[in-house]
Amino acid sequence: ISSENLQLFTATVCVAIRSGGGIAEVLENLIHTIRKRKELEGKVRSLTAQFNFESLCMVLLPIPVFLILYLLDEELMRPLLTTTIGWWGIAAIVVLELIGFKVLRSIGKVRF
């Protein structure tokens, strides 16, 4: 049992005792609430895992695109590898991709 669920249980029992309500019904509702929370937590974890995978794919996609373009038209892509401006362009792409990946990871981070 997580400490959050334990706190919820304690608060629920205290309120039920103070108000004189039926403890059995209150506990049934609490169990239902905890189960729904777990279900929702699983869905959120699934969606964030999907988001993290998609962000990783977006970051890694330029590599095969570059390789395919290089194989299709070597003359077009050669300046990227043989000139100073080309290397600066590649460095800029790498830096921007890493920044984008970091931003996407922070967006997709969910704390429970």
Averaged pLDDT, 41-45: 87
Of 110 and 77, which is predicted with more confidence? 77
Q: Give yes or no for residue 80 having a pLDDT over 80.
A: yes
- Judged by DSSP in three states, 18 sits in helix
Taking the whole predicted model, whether its pTM rises above 0.75 is answered as no
Amino acid at 71: L
The set of residues, in sequence order, having a beta carbon less than 8 Å from that of 104 and lying 6+ positions away, is 51, 55, 58, 59
Rounded Cα gap, residues 105 and 49, in angstroms: 10
Local confidence band at 36 (pLDDT 50, 70, 90 cut-offs)? very high
Smallest Cα–Cα separation from 9: which of 20, 19, 26?
Answer: 26
Cα 112–48–100 angle (5° rounding)? 115
Q: Give yes or no for residue 2 having a pLDDT over 70.
A: no
Rounded Cα gap, residues 57 and 65, in angstroms: 12
The secondary structure of residue 112, as a DSSP letter, is: -
